[in-house]
């Protein structure tokens, strides 16, 4: 395949940045999108130019590190996959592909396509846990049976990989889906219920402080989420939040 | 003469750990506040250690090269975690898990360490459930189990095909809680590039801030290396792109012995290579071998026809399939340990039976499992007259519930539907049993420097059983290191803060800077990947699934030549003091180029076959691996002297008191 790539280049957080055009040839359908980027970078390095910086690590859709906005869609045109799992067979010879970083106030650009998602970690540090120490004396794992339905729902919520596509997709750059996934997971499990109220209040507060926008229920996040995290989680979080507010008063 | 002291406590195997804990020294809570600990790595090993140490009251500095601690490579583990809970009542026990691990490791691991691992395994599951880790459950609300290779009980806990992510998120949440409290200072996008030793003790590290490119100094009273395995020396592996040996190699160069580097694990079920552009390989969890049957055609002609696209696997009748694992190993069948399964697949492909264009693939077939589950479902639904289509549909639902995300992953990569046609798989590098030598306390040969998780060599001998790495990482971090490190730190309560202005820190930073400048100033013509790929090919061909003297000698020579070329012709674009992923890669590959040589040296020394290390010269008449306990029942720990090929060998003789060494037999 022969393709035309239009890629966002930005030297640093303070640099203005611009789209730059790169023609590329010899791309095969079996290559992953990031392998296509590798081919481009190899060419740039040999030519003595600066390769395009992008985040990635596991390359199998689980670490949440990769993060490209491709032709206006987070993680590209395919559904339920991350950029690293997207394959070039989804594109056609002659296509022009626009590649941009996540854009959100809370995710400043570090370089080119790499952004700083530290805000996600700070939200977790404000409540995304169960306060239990390592002791070797916690109760036996089977002491509290958990209905399979709740356990499965908690698991579904816990599959969030923290990639940030939901934020990048949202017109308001809201982090609701990400936060709701963690709040839901822990609220659904007996171990997490004890602190449910403080958790949701603290996490939402930090989310607001970090500069994420409000949720206006457009639902775009769930469409682009590579792990198909359901909007039900947002509804559950809202319920948890109101419960928390009432008892906090 | 050996300088190695494994410090295994005396006494009966089953009481060693408890009596050790009863007698070690402790650090009181007020003193813990004055003690700093550096933990390099936030995977299961590092994350669990950081959280537990901070909970105890120490000040922890944690490091990872990713943008968040949650992205450590442990996240990618699929299949599960072992624990001797015996919830299934199928006869499991601490002893049995201990025994399976020693046997699976081909009798090349320490009894004392492995017994302790089996002993604490049950607490891991309790701890994780308390943290909110959503393990798979049965309808009655209790935890579900599956079985893995190399054992005859069901002791593996799992969370669909993403057990690693769920366990790591558990450790990450425990870390997050301590980060929020200020007890852990998290340094993301930082890469450790050297260890600082003051008066013979590990006292800190030099790390590069990968965003600014600046070198930074950090001091502490102890340093823990939990930086994962070195499988990426092969370039193509199932490891994440950034996984590296650098932290481990740097401490090796500073005096930590590197043990059994030749013990690498080739996993039998990975998606085969599709072309030269390939950047990494994807694992298909071993749990699939619970239900999938592995085969190639019986007739060479059929294999050829498949390779040429004239025939489909679904055209072949069962009687014309060679289920070679079931044929060769009837007792364990498709669930033989990884090394055995990998070699058997390679043997068939080398004999010409491979089934993809490259001839390097075998089938993993779910048709019989789908049918079996479908019949079961139909029976439960009293649908006695279900058609075969209905049965297959019902069975597909069951298989989807068990392995859905793995099947989806396969489909996205290969563009074939594994519910309808068998998967193609081939062995790939997956795990490294070798690593930094540690004693029972997990301390390396450098005082005050510890190594945990995949970065150390300790518990898996020459071959690791499936679902045991997660167990080891969490055992080390949650339940072992928090005790053993106290015994050392008890002497440090009066030390006070360690200054990063000490001459040792200044010198270490200057050395790191000189190393980076050297790389930047080569200004050659080839990218880092160019060298990394070539290194990978040498190691895969000659230090991979089977090894012989001639090949190993050749590899040593080739790696040396390649290293020279690297230092003459490497090109790194960009600058030192900026975000520069090419420089990050170069810093890692220069260490792989040394490690690769040591792996070959170690493999050459070990003229027996054991576990993941198969020497052509040492096999039985049927082509099975032949161990040599008389000469090789030892840990090979290598001391760095300036050149990998001239490393000094120290032997730690393995003493088996509880287990009798016998030939490993899965027939
Ligand atoms: C695809 C796959 C599937 C697997 N499935 C299973 C399974 O089902 N069951 C099982 O038991 N095992 C499995 N394993 C093995 C298991 O996942 C690993 O052995 C284990 O997770 C390693 O954990 P760790 O904490 O030692 O290292 P890692 O998780 O690799 O963490 C390494 C950490 O060190 C950091 N680091 C590395 N170098 C540096 C440096 N120089 N400076 C700063 N930080 C650094 C990294 O940022 C990271 O945080 C699997 C492995 C793979 C590859
Ligand atoms: S909710 Fe989905 S899109 Fe958002 S961070 Fe999690 S996985 Fe990514
Ligand atoms: S690189 Fe890990 S999810 Fe894409």
Query: Does the ipTM exceed 0.90?
Result: yes
Please state, in angstroms and rounded to a whole number, the distance separating the CA atoms of residues B427 and A240: 47
Are B109 and B634 a contacting pair, CB within 8 Å?
no
Residue B662 in this model has a pLDDT that exceeds 90: no
* Cα–Cα distance, A75 to B426 (Å, whole number): 28
Can you tell me the mean pLDDT for A75-80?
Answer: 95
What residue owns the CA closest to ligand 1's atom 5?
B77
The residue with tokens 């790595």 is: B41
Q: Does B91 touch chain A (CB under 8 A)?
A: no
Percentage of chain B exceeding pLDDT 90 = 92
Compute φ and ψ for B450, nearest 5 degrees: -110, 155
Query: Pick from A55, A147, A158: which is nearest to B134 by CB?
Result: A158
Q: Cα–chain-centroid distance for residue A20?
A: 25
Q: Which of B338, B464, B615, B627 is catalytic?
A: B338
Distance, in Å, from the CA atom of A89 to the CA atom of A7, rounded to the nearest integer, reads 20
Asked if A20 reaches chain B (Cβ–Cβ under 8 Å), the answer is no
Q: Is A141 on the interface with B (CB under 8 A)?
A: yes
Q: B358 and chain A: CB distance < 8 Å anywhere? A: no
Q: Which chain B residues have a beta carbon less than 8 Å from that of A117?
A: 67-68
At B623 the pLDDT is 84
Among partner residues A50, A128, A191, which is closest to B176 by beta-carbon distance? A128
pLDDT of B457: 98
Output the pLDDT for position B614: 96
* Tens digit of each residue's pLDDT (9 = 90 or more) over B482-530: 999 999 999 999 999 999 999 999 999 999 999 999 999 999 999 999 9
Angle at A28 between CA A79 and CA B286, to 5 degrees: 60
**pTM for the predicted model, two decimal places:** 0.97
A68-73 long-range contacts, Cβ below 8 Å, gap at least 24? A68/A33, A68/A99, A68/A100, A68/A101, A68/A113, A69/A99, A69/A100, A69/A101, A69/A102, A69/A103, A69/A168, A70/A33, A70/A97, A70/A98, A70/A99, A70/A100, A71/A97, A71/A98, A72/A98, A73/A169, A73/A224
Give catalytic status of residue B338 as yes or no. Answer: yes
Ligand 1: nearest atom to the Cα of B65: 47
With a cut of 80, say whether residue B218 has pLDDT above it: yes
Q: What is the pLDDT of residues B424-464, one digit of tens each?
A: 999 999 999 999 999 999 999 999 999 999 999 999 999 99
DSSP SS3 for B631: helix
Q: Are residue A91 and residue A202 in the same domain, yes or no?
A: no
Q: Which two tokens stand for residue B392?
A: 């297959």
Q: Average pLDDT, stretch B162-181?
A: 98
Average pLDDT score over residue span B613-625:
92
Instruction: Give the pair of three-digit tokens for residue B286.
Output: 């071993």
Q: Which of residues 161-220 of A touch B (CB under 8 A)?
A: 161-162, 185-186, 189, 191-192
Q: How far apart are the first and last CA of chain B?
A: 40
Tell whether B163 lies on the interface with A, counting CB pairs under 8 A. Answer: no
Same domain as A68, residue A132: no
| Portion 558-587 of B in contact with A at CB < 8 A | 571, 573-574, 578-579, 581-582
pLDDT at residue A115, as a whole number: 98
Q: Are B497 and B219 in contact (CB under 8 A)?
A: yes
HEC sequence for B436-484: ECCCCCCECCCECEEECHHHECCCCCCCCCCCCHHHHHHHHHHHHHHHH
- A127 lies in the same domain as A239: yes
Decide whether any atom of ligand 2 lies within 6 Å of the A227 Cβ.
Answer: yes
Q: What is the DSSP string of B584-609?
A: HHHHHHHHHHHHHHHHHHHHHH--S-
**Within this chain, do residues A142 and A97 fall inside the same structural domain, yes or no?**
no
pLDDT value, residue B152: 84
Determine the atom of ligand 2 nearest the C-alpha atom of A162. 5
Q: Please choose, from the candidates B170, B254, B243, the residue with its C-alpha nearest in 3D space to the C-alpha of residue B205.
A: B254
Q: Find out whether B264 and B611 touch, Cβ atoms under 8 Å.
A: no
Specify the residue for token string 């055992």. B475
**Average pLDDT rounded to a whole number, residues B203-220:** 98
Please indicate, yes or no, whether residues A94 and A131 belong to a single structural domain of this protein: no
- Same domain, residue pair A32 and A106: yes
Interface test with A, best of B41, B53, B131 (most A CBs within 10 A): B131
pLDDT, mean of residues A25-48: 96
The answer to whether B280 and B239 have CB atoms below 8 angstroms apart is: yes
- Which of 3.90.550.10, 3.40.50.720, 3.90.700.10, 3.20.20.70 would CATH assign to domain B267-429? 3.90.700.10
Interface of B with A in 601-620 (CB under 8 A): none
Buried b or exposed e, range B156-192, using 16+ CB within 10 angstroms: bbbbbbbbbbbbbbbbbbbbbbbbbeebbbbbbbbbb
Residue B74 beta carbon below 6 angstroms from any ligand 1 atom: yes
pLDDT at residue A118 is higher than 50: yes
Q: Which pLDDT score, from 0 to 100, does residue A248 have?
A: 67
d(CA B448, CA B263): 26
**Vertex A21 angle, CA A19 and A26, to 5°:** 140
Answer with the one of A110, A143, A165 that is the final residue of a domain.
A110
The answer on A190 and A88 residing in a single domain is no
Are A99 and A126 in the same domain? Answer: no
CB-CB contact of A149 with B137 (8 Å): no
Phi/psi zone of residue B235: left (φ > 0), alpha (ψ -120 to 50 degrees), beta? left
Contact A196, A244 (CB under 8 A): yes
Hey, is A164 helix, strand or coil?
coil
CA of A193 to the centre of ligand 2 (A): 23
Residue B29 has pLDDT above 90, yes or no: yes
Residues of A in contact with B142 (CB under 8 A): 142, 145
Give the integer Cα–Cα distance in Å for B522 and B55. Answer: 46
Q: Is A76 on the interface with B (CB under 8 A)?
A: no
The average pLDDT across B338-362 equals: 93
What DSSP letter does each residue of B152-183 carry, written as one string?
Answer: SS--EE-BTB-HHHHHHHHHHHHHHHHHHTTS
User: Based on the domain organization, do A233 and A131 belong to the same domain?
Assistant: yes
- Asked if residue A41 and residue A15 are part of one domain, the reply reads yes
From the candidates B172, B173, B281, which should be mutated to test the interface with A, based on the most A CB atoms within 10 A?
B173
Residue B46 binned pLDDT confidence (cut-offs 50, 70, 90): very high
pLDDT at B321 over 70: yes
| B76 close to B462: Cβ distance less than 8 angstroms | no
Other beta carbons less than 10 A from residue B5's beta carbon: 10
For A21, the domain range is 3-110
Residue A152 sits in a domain of what CATH number?
1.10.1060.10
Q: What pLDDT does B100 receive?
A: 95
Tell how far the Cα of B72 is from the centroid of ligand 1, in angstroms.
6
Split at pLDDT 50, 70, 90, the class of B2 is low
Distance between Cα A178 and ligand 3 center (Å): 17
Closest partner residue to A57 (CB to CB) among B132, B162, B242 is: B242
> Residue A67 sits in a domain of what CATH number?
3.10.20.30
Q: How far is A249 from chain B (nearest CA, A)?
A: 25
The overall average pLDDT reported for chain A is 96
Looking at the CA of residue A62, tell me the nearest atom of ligand 3: 3
| Closest chain A CA to residue B584 | A53
Q: Which of A47, A77, A110 is the last residue of a domain?
A: A110
Single out the residue of B574, B485, B489, B561 nearest to residue B523, CA to CA: B574
* Average of per-residue pLDDT values in chain B: 96
- For chain A, strand residue ranges (E) read 3-9, 18-24, 69-70, 73-74, 96-100, 109-111, 114-115
Q: What is the average per-residue pLDDT within B249-265?
A: 98
In chain B, domain spans: 267-429, 501-631
Average pLDDT score over residue span A179-190: 98
The count of structural domains within chain A is 2
Cα-to-centroid distance, A65 and ligand 3 (Å): 5
Query: Tell me, what's the pLDDT at B1?
Result: 42
Do the chains contact at A63 and B137, CB–CB below 8 Å?
A: no
For the CA of A165, the closest atom of ligand 2 is: 3
Q: What's the rounded mean pLDDT across residues B535-542? A: 96
CATH architecture of the domain formed by B501-631: Up-down Bundle (1.20)
Residue A68 and residue A185 in one domain: no
The DSSP string of B538-549 is: HHHHHSSSSB-H
How far is B67 from B54, CA to CA, in rounded Å?
A: 21
How confident is residue A249, by pLDDT bands cut at 50, 70 and 90?
low
Compute the distance between CA of residue B422 and CA of residue B417 in angstroms, rounded to an integer. Answer: 8
Could you tell me what percent of chain B has a pLDDT over 70?
A: 100
* A-B Cβ pairs (cutoff 8 Å, strict): 217
Cβ neighbours for B344, distance < 8 A, ≥ 6 positions apart: B324, B325, B328, B336
Phi, psi of B62 (to 5 degrees): -110, 145
Burial A58-96 (b: 16+ CB within 10 A, else e): bbbbbbbbbbbbbeebbbbebeebbbbbbbbeebeeeee
Q: Are residues A84 and A127 in the same domain?
A: no
Establish whether residue A237 lines the binding site of ligand 2, counting it when its CB lies within 6 angstroms of any ligand atom.
no
Q: Is B123 on the interface with A (CB under 8 A)?
A: yes
């Amino acid at each position: 395949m022969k393709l035309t790539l239009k890629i966002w280049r930005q030297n640093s957080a303070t640099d203005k940045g611009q789209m730059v055009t790169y023609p590329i040839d010899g791309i095969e359908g079996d290559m992953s999108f990031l392998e296509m980027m590798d081919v481009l970078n190899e060419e740039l390095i040999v030519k003595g130019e600066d390769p395009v910086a992008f985040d990635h690590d596991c390359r199998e859709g689980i670490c949440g590190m990769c993060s490209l906005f491709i032709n206006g869609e987070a993680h590209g045109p395919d559904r339920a996959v991350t950029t690293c799992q997207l394959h070039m067979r989804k594109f056609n010879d002659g296509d022009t592909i626009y590649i941009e970083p996540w854009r959100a106030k809370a995710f400043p650009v570090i370089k080119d396509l790499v952004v700083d998602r530290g805000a996600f970690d700070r939200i977790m540090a404000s409540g995304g846990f169960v306060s239990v120490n390592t002791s070797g004396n916690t109760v036996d794992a089977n002491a509290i049976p958990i209905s399979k339905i709740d356990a499965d729902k908690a698991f579904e919520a816990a599959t969030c990989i923290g990639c940030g596509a939901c934020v990048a997709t949202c017109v308001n750059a809201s982090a609701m889906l990400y936060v709701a996934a963690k709040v839901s997971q822990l609220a659904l499990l007996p171990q997490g219920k004890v602190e449910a109220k403080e958790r949701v209040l603290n996490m939402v507060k930090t989310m607001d402080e970090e500069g994420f926008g409000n949720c206006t229920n457009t639902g775009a996040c769930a469409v682009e989420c590579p792990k198909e995290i359901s909007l039900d989680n947002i509804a559950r979080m809202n319920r948890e939040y109101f419960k928390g507010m009432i008892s906090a008063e | 003469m050996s300088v190695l002291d494994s410090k295994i406590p005396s006494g009966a195997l089953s009481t060693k750990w408890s009596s050790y804990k009863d007698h070690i020294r402790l650090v009181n809570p007020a003193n813990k506040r004055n003690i700093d600990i550096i933990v390099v790595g936030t995977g299961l090993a590092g994350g669990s250690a950081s959280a537990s140490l901070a909970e105890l009251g120490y000040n922890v500095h944690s490091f990872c090269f990713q943008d968040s601690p949650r992205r450590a490579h442990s996240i990618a583990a699929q299949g599960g975690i072992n624990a001797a809970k015996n919830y299934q009542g199928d006869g499991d026990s601490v002893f049995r898990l201990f025994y399976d691990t020693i046997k699976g490791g081909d009798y090349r691991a320490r009894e004392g360490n492995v017994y302790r691992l089996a002993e604490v395994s049950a607490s891991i599951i309790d701890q994780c459930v308390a943290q909110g880790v959503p393990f798979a459950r049965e309808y009655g609300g209790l935890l579900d189990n599956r079985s893995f290779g190399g054992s005859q009980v069901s002791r593996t806990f799992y969370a669909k095909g993403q057990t690693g992510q769920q366990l790591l998120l558990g450790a990450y949440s425990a870390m997050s809680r301590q980060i929020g409290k200020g007890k852990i200072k998290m340094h993301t996008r930082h890469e450790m590039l050297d260890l600082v030793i003051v008066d013979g003790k590990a006292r800190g590290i030099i790390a590069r801030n990968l965003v600014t490119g600046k070198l930074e100094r950090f001091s502490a009273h102890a340093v823990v290396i939990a930086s994962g395995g070195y499988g990426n020396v092969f370039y193509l592996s199932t490891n994440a792109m950034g996984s590296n040996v650098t932290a481990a190699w740097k401490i090796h160069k500073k005096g930590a012995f590197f043990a059994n580097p030749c013990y690498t694990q080739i996993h039998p079920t990975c998606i085969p290579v599709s072309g030269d552009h390939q950047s990494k390989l994807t694992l298909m969890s071993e749990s699939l071998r619970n239900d999938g049957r592995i085969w190639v055609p019986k007739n060479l002609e059929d294999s050829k026809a498949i390779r040429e696209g004239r025939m489909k696997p679904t055209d072949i009748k069962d009687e014309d399939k060679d289920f070679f694992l079931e044929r060769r190993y009837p007792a364990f069948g498709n669930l033989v340990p990884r090394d055995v399964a990998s070699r058997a697949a390679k043997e068939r492909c080398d004999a010409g039976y491979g089934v993809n264009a490259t001839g390097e693939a075998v089938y993993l077939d779910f048709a019989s499992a789908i049918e079996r589950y479908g019949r079961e479902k139909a029976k439960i639904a009293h649908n006695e007259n279900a058609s075969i289509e209905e049965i297959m549909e019902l069975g597909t639902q069951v298989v989807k519930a068990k392995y859905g995300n793995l099947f989806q992953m396969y489909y996205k990569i290969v563009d074939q539907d594994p519910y309808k046609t068998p998967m193609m798989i081939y062995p790939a590098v997956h795990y490294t049993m070798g690593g930094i030598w540690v004693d029972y306390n997990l301390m390396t040969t450098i005082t005050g420097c510890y190594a945990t998780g995949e970065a150390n060599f300790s518990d898996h001998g020459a071959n690791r059983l499936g679902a045991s790495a997660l167990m080891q990482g969490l055992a080390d971090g949650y339940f072992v290191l928090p005790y053993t490190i106290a015994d050392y730190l008890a002497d440090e309560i009066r030390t006070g803060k360690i200054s990063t202005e000490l001459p040792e820190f200044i010198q270490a930073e200057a050395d790191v800077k000189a190393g980076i400048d050297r790389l930047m100033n080569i200004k050659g013509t080839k990218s880092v990947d160019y060298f990394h790929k070539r290194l990978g090919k040498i190691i895969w061909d000659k230090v991979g699934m089977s090894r012989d003297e001639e090949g190993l000698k050749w590899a040593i020579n080739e790696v040396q030549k390649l290293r020279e070329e690297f230092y003459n012709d490497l090109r790194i674009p960009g600058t030192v003091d900026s975000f520069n992923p090419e420089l990050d890669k170069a810093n890692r590959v220069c260490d792989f180029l040394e490690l690769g040589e040591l792996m070959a040296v170690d493999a050459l020394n070990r003229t027996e076959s054991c576990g993941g290390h198969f020497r052509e010269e040492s096999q039985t008449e049927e082509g099975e691996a032949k161990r040599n306990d008389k000469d090789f029942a030892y840990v090979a720990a290598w001391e760095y002297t300036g050149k990998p090929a001239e490393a000094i060998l120290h032997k730690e003789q393995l003493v088996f008191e509880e287990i009798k060494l016998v030939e490993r037999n899965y027939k």
